[in-house]
Chain A
Amino acid sequence: MRRAGEFLRGALRRHEVLLLLVLVVEWGLFYHYGTTVNRRGVVVGFGTLDRQFDVLRHSCEIGLLALALTPVILTAGIDLSVGSLLGLCAVVFGQLWHDAGLPVGAAAGLTLVAGALGGAVNAGLVAGLRLPPLIVTLGTYSLFRGLAEALTRGAVTYTDFPAGFLFLGQERWLGLPTQAWVFLVAAAAIGVLVHRTVTGRAFRVLGFAPEGARYAGLAVGRTLAIAYVLAGTVAAAAALIYTARIGQAKADAGTGYELYAITAVVLGGTSIFGGRGSVPGTLLGVAAIAVLKNGLATIPAVIRLNAAEEMAGLLTGALLLLALALGALGQAGKVEG
């Protein structure tokens, strides 16, 4: 009697194990093929610590968006607007600091509030009016980006941020790239929310059975609202980190990031139909994509062809389809009543 339950739980875990394996293989290959010694006898490429920190640094923004999307997708929703909201928040931050002359700290705080408000727009439409999330966030996807462009008239770029702020995106703190700490704290917080609280449980129930959640007396509207407002807030945090890393804020920041983030979440084993998934899975999904993207750019043959971007896209797509196919095979053995 015991084994059936264990098998299921094992299968759930297996996805993460599988992903970890993929990650190790990826890493090993890039370490082998992407590490070279240059003319001056210095080791360069994938195998250097600097490069590894680079991978980490570059994965923080998409990583944050993927974390933000995990609860949303668990509820069987989607948020296509996070990339646009990142752009809007970057612009808002630039204006608050540069145009309004606020101290950097206050500007950052207000930017987070702006992100929450952006998320609240989605929440109001999805949770309040019960509109389909895909349509709602497709709308806000254009709306937020359009707003960012309108605010800057498509031309203004904010630069010259103080060193204290750039520290967040360009320096190290306690041995790690500074933004990695923000990412880790966000991962821990969202991990706890999803896996250890009744709200996290409610995300899943909503994903599995929205009607069942209502009949069980769960706070359906509030749960949905939490997921979308949280997504907006985390997108704002990603905007701050992005601005600090690049050193400038403009309206096209984070264009297309939502798709990378969704890819990472789904690759991490979260079902696009809701209910199933985990935060550790998302982290592994983010890592698998980040290593792939950065690793390819260190392989001499790829550099010569100047095709790192294209190959990364191709391989990420292939990886995702593989993960989905494996997931489907796992589902085929699912129990039925």
Chain B
Amino acid sequence: MSSVPLLAFEAIEKSFGAVRALRGVSFELRAGEVHALLGENGAGKSTLIKVATGAHAPDAGHLVIGGRRLARLDPASARVHGIACIYQQPALFPDLTVAENLALRLEPPQLARRVDRAGRRRRAAELLQRIGAALPPEAEVRNLSMPEQQLVEIASALGAGARIVIMDEPTASLTQREQVRLFQTVRTLREAGAGIIYISHRLDEIFELADRVTILRDGASVGTRVAGELSEAELIRLMVGREMNSLFPPPLGPVGDTVLELRAVGCRAAGVRDVSLTVRAGEVLGLAGLVGAGRTELAGVLFGLTPADAGEILLGGRSVTIDSPRTALAHGLAYVPEDRRRHGVVLELPVAQNITLAAHRTLFPGGWLRSGVERKLAGEFIARFAIRTAGPGAPVASLSGGNQQKVALARWLATAPRVLILDEPTQGVDVGAKGEIHRLIRELAARGLAVLLISSDLPEILGMSDRIGVMRGGTIADVLPGTAAAPEVMAAALGTAGKGAA
């Protein structure tokens, strides 16, 4: 490990209006290290890396890249300096193939030149192989899963000769298996001498992957430590500023009658078939499975996004037809979706309006908006979830990722549902808020809600579920007791050993 930093931030400051997102942050990245950037939601992590990619100009301070002092960067020169960033949402062209997307990133723009298709494909194949991704270069990006698209992003970073690779919450929606693959890639990059800045709220990943850790709190650096010399408790204390246990809360009340029952439910369009399941009042039913196993698709069927075309759905013992999210809402179903930026919140709308959006019918009788009621309710949720915002009138786009997630959750709790379907509810949420959401789930269950919890975070599924439904190939492969161990769940998710492992 060389001691000359690849990249150094010196006393970077950045404000958005009155919000001081960064107040003099210094930080350095060495060649051949994975440097984790940690902190609570809104601590300033994303803002800091946007300074490094040239997306934001710092108000004060400077960067040193390869020994050169720079007051600011723009995206083009960041690329020239070998900085590549892999965002949580891959930014590829869905209609083009993998090879074409890579060519667009890597070939210098030129008018009128023959397209060397074979050459493009060869180079794409070579890059993909270097990161150990088994993807065909001629696959269209629209047909790839999110993790696969992330691999394409990484291949493009590699192809551009990036020496500084930044990853902002890359695993927020990856399951165990894709995560393992991603980690291998990160290690390959590290071996090749690149420096990697890695942002994540999953502490187990940090301990597995990171060499050093820098912790941000309220836009200031609390210190840089060697990862191996830190305990989890210490890390949390540095992030949150107080002691906190990271244990999952136990169930608070007894399990009651069946609220939701599925009898051989299927939907051809969504690839869901023959799902039979019951969820009882006060129960948290975890749904585990690999990416593509059909968990989100099942949620879509239940919530009327892709209505069921087979089987029967019973709510409180009565057979119901759910043909749209609107009827689902009317039946007391709530769904906090996986893709928060596209489905979970309306970015341009203020926080308060986002929170009340699904509860119009009860909050605004007669269809008349009542700003007093709206502000009061929003204020309650902002306080209860500690949502960090300039105010209820600020657009959700101005919130950090984790705080946007809290708004998405608040919107559905405001509808006072009977059945709550949570799809990756703690993605991108910090330890403190994660514990808060877990406690909240228990509290809601104790009040008689039936909770369906979809999560790729296996410890979360194991820690929170009263029973675990394991999905594979669009149906429930197995229902395990909440006391099941990780290997059991993994085995059920993969199917019989050796078969689903490819």
Which residues of A does B touch, CB under 8 Å?
1-5, 7-9, 196-201, 204-205, 208-209, 211-219, 275-276, 334-337
Contacts and interface: CB of A to CB of B under 8 A. Distances in A.
B346 interface: yes
A208 B305 contact: no
29 contacts: A1-B389, A1-B391, A2-B18, A2-B391, A3-B17, A3-B390, A5-B393, A8-B394, A8-B395, A196-B369, A197-B367, A197-B369, A204-B349, A205-B349, A208-B348, A209-B342, A212-B344, A212-B345, A213-B346, A214-B324, A214-B325, A215-B343, A216-B358, A217-B329, A217-B358, A275-B348, A337-B341, A337-B399, A337-B401
Given A205-B357, A211-B343, A1 B367 contact: no
Contacts of B400: 337
A6 to B, nearest CB: 8
A52 B227 CA distance: 76
Nearest to B20: A1
Given A214-B325, A335-B397, A208 B347 contact: yes
Contacts of A215: 305, 325, 335, 337, 343-344
A131 B461 CA distance: 42
Q: How large is the interface on B (under 10, 10 to 19, 20 to 34, 35 or more residues)?
A: 35 or more
Contacts of A218: 326, 357, 360
Contacts of A199: 367
A211 B401 contact: no
Interface in B321-360: 324-326, 328-329, 335, 337, 341-350, 353, 357-358, 360
A216 B411 contact: yes
Given A208-B349, A217-B325, A337-B399, 11 more contacts: A3-B390, A4-B16, A4-B17, A4-B18, A201-B357, A205-B346, A208-B348, A212-B344, A215-B335, A216-B325, A276-B348
B255 to A, nearest CB: 28
Given A7-B17, A217-B358, A335-B398, A208 B346 contact: yes
Given A204-B349, A216-B411, A337-B347, A211 B326 contact: no
B19 interface: yes
A203 B261 CA distance: 35
A34 to B, nearest CB: 41
Contacts of B349: 204-205, 208
Interface in B169-209: none
Given A5-B390, A198-B364, A199-B367, A335 B16 contact: yes
Interface string B378-397: 00000000000111011111
Contacts of B335: 215
Contacts of B390: 1-5
B282 to A, nearest CB: 24
Interface in B29-62: none
A337 B342 contact: no
B388 to A, nearest CB: 9
A259 B358 CA distance: 36
B326 A219 contact: yes
- Nearest first, the 8 A-B pairs at minimum CB distance are A4-B17, A217-B329, A3-B18, A5-B394, A215-B343, A335-B398, A1-B390, A3-B17
Given A7-B17, A219-B326, A212 B346 contact: yes
Contact of B397 (A204, A213, A336): A336
A212 B342 contact: yes
A86 B453 CA distance: 54
**Which of B329, B390, B399 has the most A CB atoms < 10 Å from its CB?**
B390
B369 A216 contact: no
Nearest to B56: A336
A4 B398 contact: yes
Nearest to A335: B398
A9 B393 contact: yes
B404 interface: yes
A335 B391 CA distance: 15
A87 B335 CA distance: 47
A212 B343 contact: yes
Contacts of B326: 217-219
Contacts of A1: 18-19, 389-391
Given A4-B16, A5-B390, A205-B357, A335 B342 contact: no
A246 B487 CA distance: 83
A215 B326 CA distance: 9
A218 B364 CA distance: 14
Contacts of A2: 18, 390-391
Contact of B19 (A4, A213, A276): A4
**Which of B357, B364, B404 has the most A CB atoms < 10 Å from its CB?**
B357
B280 to A, nearest CB: 24
A201 B369 contact: yes
A99 B63 CA distance: 81
A211 B300 CA distance: 13
A5 B360 CA distance: 23
A220 to B, nearest CB: 8
Contacts of A212: 342-346
A204 B399 CA distance: 20
